[in-house]
């Protein structure tokens, strides 16, 4: 089901991109290229169709994304990284059982040699 929603999201994105690219920001767009077809559809009806198609595709994209987020498989990347982190936390050694390493102190220099 998740794969189907992902495919639908990609298809809607492609159509939305094509519809937006066909439109012209000044209102011409696809309608300006078909001036001879004004008898059939008209310039205004083409612009209305493109605007309705844009809003419909945008709304369907939002709905599909929300549906995909709701049915996201539970074996996602976040769960894998969380389980690795949990296993590392469980395998941490107790600091009280750690061996103590000897520390050495540096010899102190006489006051005369420290000034130079």
61 inside domain = yes
110 inside domain = no
89 inside domain = no
What pLDDT, in 10s, does the model give residues 6-46? 999 999 999 999 998 888 766 555 555 555 554 555 556 77
Rounded to whole angstroms, the Cα distance separating 108 from 114 reads: 9
Residue 55 lies in domain: 45-74
70 inside domain = yes
Rounded to whole angstroms, the Cα distance separating 55 from 63 reads: 12
21 inside domain = no
68 inside domain = yes
Total domains in the fold of the chain: 1
pTM above 0.95, yes or no: no
Rounded to whole angstroms, the Cα distance separating 48 from 55 reads: 11
Mean pLDDT rounded to a whole number for the chain? 75
DSSP one-letter code for 107:
P
Residue with tokens 């061996």: 99
Helix (H) or strand (E) holding 3: helix 2-22
């Amino acid at each position: 089901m998740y794969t189907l929603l992902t495919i639908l999201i990609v298809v809607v994105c492609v159509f939305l991109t094509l519809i937006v690219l066909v439109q012209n920001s000044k209102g011409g767009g696809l309608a300006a290229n078909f001036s001879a077809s004004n008898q059939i559809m008209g310039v205004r009806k083409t612009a209305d169709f493109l605007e309705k198609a844009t809003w419909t595709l945008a709304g369907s994209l939002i709905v599909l994304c929300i549906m995909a987020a709701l049915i996201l498989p539970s074996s996602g990347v976040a769960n894998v990284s969380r389980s690795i982190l949990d296993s590392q936390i469980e395998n941490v050694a107790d600091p009280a059982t750690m061996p103590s390493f000897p520390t050495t102190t540096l010899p102190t220099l006489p006051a005369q040699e420290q000034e130079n």
